[in-house]
């Protein structure tokens, strides 16, 4: 049986159990009821409902539950850009919703979800031990789902997930534009600090710029030692699947020295074409968190670059391709598997202090022009 409504000192606002309810008059003249978590919220919502009725802008708040809406939404969602929405992304969104968001928001109506609820969702995931990047992945379908609900008029006050930031945590990989690249000396020091059994893997990431998920999914059959090419055809993301996008499917060059070292490694482990190239001591796929915590982070501290993460190697490779190898933006884009050269320039190229050219004097322009003329 529902708890009885108890009058408050504000007309039309009642306390009901641990929540508050308020009464307003619909445009038809019939009474309407709404609910709120606090007394102040109930008063504000009651006043807003009355104002909307007077302006002719009133719309009944949705009673649709988040769980029902989210499951229906993911079946037909077509993305928010002209590029569309890949089916692999749809499956990732569906898994994230079912595993994280739906259990958390299941008992809430769409119209009840507020920014503080989304913040609690983020905090819950962080408390569970997820890395910030994983929390962002879990938040992405929630943000997109609620944005569609706003467009359909089921949420009136704007997307409660917009503007929600995931705080960073020291010791996990970040992939934002502020990630630094290593200098040549820092890269050399880092490699020297990595234990010998994992040194080839770190050097490989630095030389190829492969994503961690792409490198650990490589099989010996993916490495053409004669052609000196690495064939990126899969990635490890909740199992082995297709590359991140069609642009990620690529052939990456390797040096003669790297090809030779890989060949020696294959002979040592007697690897077949189907065997994993960079495997654990037990022959299983490498685990990011374990390798980062036990191997990479201690080496980074020892090398004097405690801020570095595995993704730093990809940034460093991109920078070296520009500054040392002289590749152009289109070539680096194809090397890294990005969708556009502009994205590569914006996110993955870091000018090092020594790379800045000398100022160009006016006499070098060949026109003899003086400043101010």
CATH number at 101 reads 1.10.150.130
Do 40 and 71 fall into the same domain?
Answer: no
Strongest mean pLDDT among 158-162, 184-188, 237-241, 353-357: 184-188
Say what the pTM is.
0.53
Q: Which residues pair with 14 in a beta bridge?
A: 7, 21
Residues belonging to the chain: 373
pLDDT number for residue 362? 43
DSSP letter at 111 equals G
pLDDT number for residue 170? 46
Do 147 and 281 fall into the same domain?
Answer: no
| Cα first-last separation, the chain | 87
275: number of Cβ within 10 Å: 14
Do 205 and 344 fall into the same domain?
Answer: yes
Chosen domain end from 103, 133, 151: 151
Do 199 and 116 fall into the same domain?
Answer: no
Do 225 and 303 fall into the same domain?
Answer: yes
pLDDT band of residue 78 (cuts 50, 70, 90) is confident
Handedness of CA 293, 296, 298, 300 (dihedral sign): negative
pLDDT number for residue 356? 46
pLDDT number for residue 1? 45
Angstrom CA distances, 54 to 16, 25, 27, 36, 45, stand at 27, 10, 8, 22, 14
Do 342 and 211 fall into the same domain?
Answer: yes
Chosen domain end from 100, 130, 151: 151
Cβ burial 51-77 (10 Å sphere, 16+ → b, else e): eebeeeebeebbebbbbebbeebbeeb
Q: Is the pLDDT of residue 360 over 90?
A: no
CA distance 134 to 240: 17
pLDDT band of residue 176 (cuts 50, 70, 90) is very low
Do 19 and 80 fall into the same domain?
Answer: no
Q: Is the pLDDT of residue 364 over 50?
A: no
Percent of all residues in the chain with a pLDDT value above 90, rounded to a whole number: 27
Average pLDDT score over residue span 190-198 = 95
CA distance 236 to 215: 9
Q: Is residue 366 part of a domain?
A: no
Which CATH number fits the domain that encloses residue 333? 1.10.443.10
Q: Is residue 174 part of a domain?
A: no
Do 134 and 251 fall into the same domain?
Answer: no
Q: Is residue 25 part of a domain?
A: yes
pLDDT number for residue 173? 41
113 within 8 A of 160, measured Cβ to Cβ: yes
Do 232 and 307 fall into the same domain?
Answer: yes
Q: Is residue 1 part of a domain?
A: no
67 within 8 A of 110, measured Cβ to Cβ: no
Give the count of domains, the chain. Answer: 3
CA distance 208 to 230: 9
Residue-number span of the structural domain to which 50 is assigned? 6-55
Chosen domain end from 130, 151, 172: 151
Q: Is residue 104 part of a domain?
A: yes
* Most distant pair of Cα atoms in the chain: their distance: 91
Do 76 and 100 fall into the same domain?
Answer: yes
Do 222 and 309 fall into the same domain?
Answer: yes
Q: Is residue 129 part of a domain?
A: yes
Average pLDDT along the chain:
81
What are the backbone angles phi and psi of residue 305, rounded to the nearest 5°? Answer: -130, 60
Angstrom CA distances, 293 to 171, 297, 298, 332, stand at 8, 6, 7, 30
Do 189 and 234 fall into the same domain?
Answer: yes
CA 133 to chain centre: 5
Pairing of strands 19-25, 13-16: antiparallel
Q: Is residue 171 part of a domain?
A: no
Q: Is residue 167 part of a domain?
A: no
Over residues 327-341, the pLDDT tens digits come to 888 888 889 988 888
pLDDT number for residue 134? 80
């Amino acid at each position: 049986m529902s708890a009885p409504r108890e009058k408050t000192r504000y007309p039309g606002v009642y306390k009901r159990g641990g929540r508050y309810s308020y009464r307003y008059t619909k445009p038809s003249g019939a009474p309407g009821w709404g609910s709120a978590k606090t007394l102040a919220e109930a008063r504000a919502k009651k006043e807003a409902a009355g104002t909307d009725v007077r302006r002719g802008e009133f719309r009944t708040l949705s009673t649709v539950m988040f769980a029902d809406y989210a499951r229906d939404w993911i079946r037909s969602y077509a993305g928010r850009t002209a590029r569309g929405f890949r089916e692999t992304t749809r499956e990732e969104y569906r898994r994230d919703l079912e595993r994280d968001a739906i259990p958390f928001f299941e008992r809430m109506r769409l119209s009840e979800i507020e920014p503080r609820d989304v913040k609690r969702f983020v905090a819950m995931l962080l408390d569970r031990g997820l890395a910030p990047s994983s929390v962002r992945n879990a938040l992405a379908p929630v943000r997109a789902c609620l944005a569609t609900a706003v467009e359909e008029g089921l949420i009136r006050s704007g997307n409660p997930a917009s503007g929600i930031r995931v705080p960073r945590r020291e010791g996990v990989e970040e992939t934002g534009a502020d990630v630094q690249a290593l200098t040549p000396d820092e890269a050399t020091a880092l490699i020297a600090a990595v234990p010998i059994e994992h040194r080839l893997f770190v050097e490989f990431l630095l030389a190829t710029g492969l994503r961690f998920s792409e490198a650990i999914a490589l099989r010996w059959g993916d490495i053409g030692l004669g052609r000196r090419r690495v064939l990126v055809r899969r990635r490890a993301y909740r199992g082995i699947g297709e590359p991140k996008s069609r642009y990620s499917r690529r052939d990456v060059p390797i040096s003669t020295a790297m090809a030779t070292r890989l060949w020696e490694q294959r002979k040592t482990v007697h690897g077949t074409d189907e065997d994993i190239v960079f495997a654990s001591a037990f022959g299983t796929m490498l685990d990011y968190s374990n390798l980062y915590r036990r191997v990479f982070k201690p080496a980074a501290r020892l090398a004097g670059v405690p801020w570095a993460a595995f993704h730093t190697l990809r940034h460093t490779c991109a920078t070296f391709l520009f500054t040392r190898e002289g590749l152009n933006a289109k070539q680096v884009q194809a090397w890294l598997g990005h969708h556009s050269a502009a994205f590569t320039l914006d996110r993955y190229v870091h000018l090092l202090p020594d790379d800045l050219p000398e100022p160009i004097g006016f006499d070098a322009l060949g026109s003899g022009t003086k400043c101010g003329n």
